[in-house]
Structure 1
Amino acid sequence: MKKLLIITLAFIVSTQLYSQTKIEEKAEAFFWGANDTHKSSFDIPEKWVNESAVILYKNENYDFHKFGKNVTYTTSIRKRVKLLDAAAVEEFSEFSFVNRFRSNKGRYTWKSKGDNVIGVKIVKSDGKEIIIDVSKDAIEVDGENKLAISNLEVGDIIDYYFYKVEPFKSTYPVGFDPVENTLSEEYPILEFKLFFETENDFFLNFNTYNGAPKLQELTSEKNNQRRYKLEVNDIEKRELPIWFYSLLELPSYKFQVFFARRSTYEKKALAFLPSKEDIVKESVSQEEVLELYENRFKPQGDIGDLKDFFKKKDYTDDSKKVTDAYYYMRHYYLTRFIEAFFVNEASILNNPFAYYGNSPVFIQNEKQFIRHFTSFLKRQKIDYDIVIAKKKYDGTIEDLLIEQNVSVLLKIKTPSPLYLSFFGPHTSINQYSPYLEGTDVYLLSNSKGRIEGITKSKLPSSTYKDNVIQKEISLSLNQDFSNIKVATINKFKGHFKEDEQYSTLLLHDYVNEDYKKYGTESLLELIRNKKVKIKFEKEFSALIEKLEERQKENLKKSIESEFNIPDAKDYNFNIKSTGRYGLDSLFSFEETYSIENSLIKKAGPNYIFEIGKFIGGQVDLDKDQKVRTENVHMTFPRSISYQIKLEIPEGYNVNGLDKLNKSVDNSAGSFISTAKLEGNLLIIDTLKVYKSSFLPNKDWPLLVQFLEEALQFTHEKILLKKA
């Protein structure tokens, strides 16, 4: 029996090795074989001789094939790059890749292991080719292969490819990962070719944007085979200035392929499929959006859990009822499980979710949230629309092509409409992605829980008054001026709030808040076994202590980065308000620490204090960035204010206040600062405002004006002069 096992294992290993060798040979022949028409590509146009590197040839390939239930997805890319300076040599001197992987598609089986193959060769200026022995030279580091190219020189050509084969079995519909790219990249491209090959049961959505050429269909010898290409020459390098959405502005292409073996599976596919496999779908109409979603958002979910919460509660309006339901559901279907997720990851308890009873409901995505919450709305006879939206960095709703790019919200039709998004631990009513603000959307109207129509609408936008950072900083100096004591009150509102909550709050900061608010039991209270409870409490406390130490260190590093100081001594913080029950509620916390031997210098009997540093780092544009032809796309309008109070040491006066008074205010934004003395306090107030999330390129100079004024403020100093 043991001998048979050894033989079987040896057969498997030898088969795998043989298969891998065949794939390597196939990949090399595909790119560098007898049909390689780019083997002699050496020259670059005169206009690009001063570039760091030029891509002589870029080739992408996507092949989709099936045999019965077996599906094989092969994707590959080749680049032939001429290196024109030392920076490019360094850039291409190392490659990282993983040899083997398991497909996440179809049925899980050892046969679904995929292969990554990499080929690299160097072409010297005299035409000599050096093919790198990847299997010999690559070194595995933390599960990833590292390949160092040691003999590259300026003037060399590096010709490399990645070739990936992903096999899997499937009878059900499978969506391949969407691809969304600009034609241009970091270096200019002399010639670019993209090839597609599909066959029956594969559905292709593909379109190009912003002036990119259309996909062309090629002739095929087989009736069930379809071949396409996209070909472009002389592509200038991609410039990526600050606040720029490349897919919105640059020539680009987007596609997704869906596999569905039968017409019944086509109907089950969550995708905007073309009507036939031989049609390339380029757009999605309102009617197709309605058709896809009208049966997918039927109210569904047991809302009996809400009965006890609403018992003995009387509501005079639906807005309050919906708001209370949203925050309770956020707790009941999410935050009350947070402890269990941490405990499970730390292996403190075996299956901690079992303590919540049989089959507890955990809402995991926005579509499940829509179905569950509309069950409540239907029972309460509250009118609503389902919002179908698309993030603005990916184009307009009219350009919708890929279902995975859809975001879904609820619009509650109360006198002042409420917008509900899939909740995270800190999400509020009327809070949704800033990338959706002001965008055109589709509204799916309903009657008694049934979707019955679709109309076009627009989502509201926030203003700079809605998205706010406020910092109140109190400073005091010790007698020899070697130490600055700092006490800060930080306040965040609107879109600033959630990121700060994630980075600052630990699970017990908000989970315990929810337990107290709703009277639910913690995981510790759910454990009835005394022995298990004692062990859990000890290990969970140790976990919390470890998380708190890590959190404190991260916040300390954030302070050091913000004010560019080497070390914040004696750092401590305290949460004042979590701000989790309303978009306008403030998230607030206090910090105390000290700065030693930094930001203050002795000048004879006086001291120079770099007071301007306390508004944190500012946007610093270089000479080239100040000239711009692209439109400006920011995430959201916002305002950031600092109030700095410095306690003037006894026996000293302050000089240099005039430089702390600045004012630039225009249609793009503003930076205004004032400084005044009140007794022994120097009080500095600064306000920086970005008035809009979008500016046409002609208004860029207006933005630069107040950005430069804010940057200059950080360089300002005061003189503490001996009286």
Structure 2
Amino acid sequence: MKTKLVVLLLFVLQIASAQDKNEIKEFFWGKNDEFKKSNSVPDKWKDESAVIIHKKEYYNYHKFGVNVTYTSGIRKRVKLQDQAAVTEFSQFSYKSKFYSNKAMGNFWRRGTTFVGIKVVKSDGKEVEINVEKESKEVNGEQKVAIPNLEIGDIIDYYFYSVEPFKSAMDYSFDPVETPLGDVYPTMDLKIVLETENDFFVNFNTYNGAPDLKEIPTNKGGERRYELSQQNISKNEFPRWFYPLAEMPCYKFQVIFARSGKFEKLADGFLSNSEKEVKKTVSKDDIFDYYNAKFVPSGDLDPIKDFLKGKTFASDEEKIREVYYFCRHDFFTKYIEAFVVNDAKIFYPFEYYQKAVFLRDEVSFINYFMYFLKKNSIDYDIIVATDRVNGSINDLLIQSNVKKLLRVNTKTPIYLEYFSPYTSADQFDDGVENSKAYVLEVSKGKRVTDASVVTLPSSTYQENNTKTKTTLTLDDFSGFKVKKESSFLGHLKENEQRDKLNFYDYVYEDYAKYGSTQLMEYVKNKKKKEQYTNELNAIINKQKDKQKDYFKDSTEKDYEVTVDDYKFNIKSAGRFGKKSAFEYDEEFTIKNNWIKKAGDKYLMELGKFLTSQIEITQKEKDRKNNIYMVYPRSFDNEIILEIPAGYAVSGLEKLNKKVENETGGFTSSAEVVGNKLIIKTFKYYKNYNEPNANWNKMIQFLDASYQFTQEKVLLKKV
């Protein structure tokens, strides 16, 4: 009987799945498909690689009791006009089954993706692909090859995902932020958004994109919105560009809040009613949302113990030292425990009498507010958004907000939530040089007002990399290389994030602050030895991977294979903007960049600058403005030990100088004793440049690239 019930259940599920597939197919390709016979494209786009005849995006948010279902879909009908487009659309990848990450508690629900693909041949014949039959699983994904695709074909496909989960309270769905256009021109675009009661919608369009329109549904609790646009030119995504800053685009987020209580707790900026689409976030919205979240609180005893017997020259010095102590005591002190726990060596947190880990920006700010309040030090809270998202005036989505503390000492100090590498002297480069809200705090207690301020900038001198590369000829067939690298500013933090591992700083912090290492809490000698050996095995394995990563990075920089690779980290550079991250490397480059010509040798020494940007002819014809991450500079010194009995010539090509208001590249070469000393300096001066300055940037970019192509002649004397 049990077997019969299981078979019956499977049969019912198969029928339901087939019905779902048929309904979805009808939804996109059924009798209401007004693009079923659309096969031609405008003459103005006949030379494009492909043209999107129709694109539809669909989002649906639905609830029934504690069950919530999020449905999303996309359909594209695309005319393929050259071989590149045929190649692009010859294979599709997707996940047919997945587990929702939106589950309440431990209740996980399986989501499903439905895929439909058909090809319309030049003679109008339609060939539908049997996706289930033709797909193959590769690394957890389904891959479908499209056979016999040709120039002139139309490929018409959809992806439709159904994601059910449970939520008794509130939930913020992932935001959608994207340009209106695609990489191909689009003849017709439609975006459909369907919600009902308890779903709040934040939606707005920018930079000339059309408005979202509400479509009557004749059902009291249900709402439907549409955005339509025709004849959209293709989007170009050039180097150094923030699409949301100037392209027609839209942003939206849907937030589920089951009642007024949960509306107040929801992680987002909500409208007064779910019947209203929220298009803007005002200064008052910012004030109301964060006023209740930021409350001075925490146990200051660890800081009091740290400060005993210490004196400081100024409040600035005191705040910096307290910040670095807290970074350890509430953050890096537990990283070793997280490693041990993740590796399932043992459960480490039971060994801490009182583990306090500041997990996010709000807990960090509340704790430091309390410290500053108790020490009668004035401060404000900064609410900013990354320049990638556009202006703070266009803020719509709460997850795009970054929170900082501005301590109003003689020289203001900006403090941000910890990473292992954050500095009390700099903050997130994404919000530098941008407008932000200042939440003003009265007497260290309550947020009383909000105003707008422009955050400070960093300079190209502060964001700097220095390298010194010493070269020795290796039997005239290659080079032995010793390289010293030093990083400051935002270039330092990026490099630390890429290259350092937990053991490079955790044990440094233990020693600096005299705190107890994790294994010292384990009193059982046998267990302690076992746990230590297991942790050391993990560290040794990570050190091997770290060496491979260093080596791979060097090979990518030089675009050659290196041998006999060694590296050594001299300083992690984690205590202040003037503290550099430094490491040394040694390696050999064999059978590259040196060629024999009779009794002479031609050496491509310019390549030791590492690969530089080559601006293609297509890139030179730029229409967009330029958006840089931050001003920055690169100092390089290359020293070649000239073999006895030889001299170098051709140095004049290594002397260059191009400088203007956007940046510059300078280089010099001279022989001092038995050494050829080459120095270069490249810098980007600003965060942004207008398109009118692009040619000026190209001047120094071309100069630095040309330097890498220069050669020096080594000959006997």
Shared fold per TM-score greater than 0.5: yes
Q: Distance in 2 between matches of 1:334 and 1:11?
A: 54
Alignment-derived partner of residue 128 in structure 1: 125
Alignment-derived partner of residue 226 in structure 1: 223
Alignment-derived partner of residue 267 in structure 2: 270
Q: Distance in 2 between matches of 1:148 and 1:301?
A: 58
Alignment-derived partner of residue 112 in structure 2: 115
Is the 8 Å Cα contact of residues 510 and 516 (structure 2) preserved in structure 1?
yes
Alignment-derived partner of residue 620 in structure 1: 614
TM score, norm. by length of structure 1: 0.97
Is the 8 Å Cα contact of residues 486 and 583 (structure 2) preserved in structure 1?
yes
Residue 502 of structure 1 and its aligned partner are, at CA, apart by 2.2
Q: Distance in 2 between matches of 1:148 and 1:357?
A: 58
Residue 457 of structure 1 and its aligned partner are, at CA, apart by 0.7
Letter in 2 for 1:646: L
Residue 12 of structure 1 and its aligned partner are, at CA, apart by 5.4
Residue identity over aligned pairs, in percent, reads 47
Letter in 1 for 2:133: K
Alignment-derived partner of residue 137 in structure 1: 134
Q: Decide which of 693, 697, 701 is 1:703's aligned counterpart.
A: 697
Question: For each residue in 1:376-410, what CA deviation from the matched residue of structure 2 results, as whole angstroms up to 9, or x when unmatched?
Answer: 22222221111000111111111111111111001
**1:357-506 to 2 correspondences below 5 Å:** 357-358=353-354, 360-447=355-442, 448-478=444-474, 480-506=475-501
Alignment-derived partner of residue 502 in structure 2: 507
Question: For each residue in 1:297-349, what CA deviation from the matched residue of structure 2 results, as whole angstroms up to 9, or x when unmatched?
Answer: 112322322232122223453212211111111111111122222222333x1
Moved more, 114-123 or 460-469: 114-123
Q: Distance in 1 between matches of 2:612 and 2:451?
A: 43
Is the 8 Å Cα contact of residues 344 and 351 (structure 1) preserved in structure 2?
yes
**1:303-318 to 2 correspondences below 5 Å:** 303-318=300-315
Alignment-derived partner of residue 172 in structure 1: 169
Q: Decide which of 99, 108, 112 is 1:102's aligned counterpart.
A: 99
- 1:48 and 2:45 equivalent? yes
Q: Distance in 2 between matches of 1:114 and 1:591?
A: 48
Q: Distance in 1 between matches of 2:265 and 2:539?
A: 44
Letter in 2 for 1:190: M
- 1:604 and 2:598 equivalent? yes
RMSD: 1.5
Q: Distance in 1 between matches of 2:635 and 2:5?
A: 70
Alignment-derived partner of residue 353 in structure 1: 349
Residue 679 of structure 1 and its aligned partner are, at CA, apart by 0.7
Is the 8 Å Cα contact of residues 106 and 174 (structure 1) preserved in structure 2?
no
Residue 111 of structure 1 and its aligned partner are, at CA, apart by 7.2
Alignment-derived partner of residue 235 in structure 1: 232
Moved more, 271-280 or 416-425: 271-280
Count of residues paired in the alignment: 716
Residues 1:630 and 1:496: Cα distance change in structure 2 (over 3 Å) = same
Is the 8 Å Cα contact of residues 195 and 224 (structure 2) preserved in structure 1?
yes
Alignment-derived partner of residue 17 in structure 1: 14
Q: Distance in 1 between matches of 2:578 and 2:108?
A: 53
Q: Decide which of 654, 659, 672 is 1:660's aligned counterpart.
A: 654
Letter in 1 for 2:53: L
Is the 8 Å Cα contact of residues 669 and 676 (structure 2) preserved in structure 1?
yes
- 1:338 and 2:330 equivalent? no
Letter in 2 for 1:626: K
Letter in 2 for 1:426: Y
- 1:547 and 2:542 equivalent? yes
Q: Decide which of 293, 308, 311 is 2:290's aligned counterpart.
A: 293
Question: For each residue in 1:228-261, what CA deviation from the matched residue of structure 2 results, as whole angstroms up to 9, or x when unmatched?
Answer: 1110001111111110111111100000111112
Runs of 4+ in 1 over 3 A off after TM superposition: 6-19, 108-111
- 1:589 and 2:583 equivalent? yes
Residue 15 of structure 1 and its aligned partner are, at CA, apart by 4.8
Q: Distance in 2 between matches of 1:315 and 1:499?
A: 30
- 1:324 and 2:349 equivalent? no
Q: Decide which of 631, 636, 647 is 2:641's aligned counterpart.
A: 647
Is the 8 Å Cα contact of residues 428 and 581 (structure 1) preserved in structure 2?
yes
Residue 431 of structure 1 and its aligned partner are, at CA, apart by 2.2
Q: Distance in 1 between matches of 2:455 and 2:26?
A: 53
Residues 1:529 and 1:109: Cα distance change in structure 2 (over 3 Å) = closer
Q: Decide which of 563, 587, 596 is 1:569's aligned counterpart.
A: 563
Q: Distance in 1 between matches of 2:314 and 2:505?
A: 28
TM score, norm. by length of structure 2: 0.97
Alignment-derived partner of residue 572 in structure 2: 578
Residue 367 of structure 1 and its aligned partner are, at CA, apart by 1.8
Alignment-derived partner of residue 66 in structure 2: 69
Alignment-derived partner of residue 80 in structure 2: 83
- 1:517 and 2:512 equivalent? yes
Residue 108 of structure 1 and its aligned partner are, at CA, apart by 4.8
Is the 8 Å Cα contact of residues 20 and 115 (structure 1) preserved in structure 2?
no
Unpaired runs of 5+ in structure 2? none
Q: Decide which of 704, 711, 715 is 1:717's aligned counterpart.
A: 711
- Partner of 2:277, secondary structure, is coil
Moved more, 67-76 or 200-209: 67-76
Is the 8 Å Cα contact of residues 176 and 258 (structure 1) preserved in structure 2?
yes
**1:151-230 to 2 correspondences below 5 Å:** 151-230=148-227
Letter in 2 for 1:493: L
Is the 8 Å Cα contact of residues 101 and 108 (structure 2) preserved in structure 1?
no
Is the 8 Å Cα contact of residues 248 and 393 (structure 1) preserved in structure 2?
yes
Moved more, 297-306 or 220-229: 297-306
Letter in 1 for 2:208: G
Is the 8 Å Cα contact of residues 209 and 251 (structure 1) preserved in structure 2?
yes
Moved more, 535-544 or 230-239: 535-544
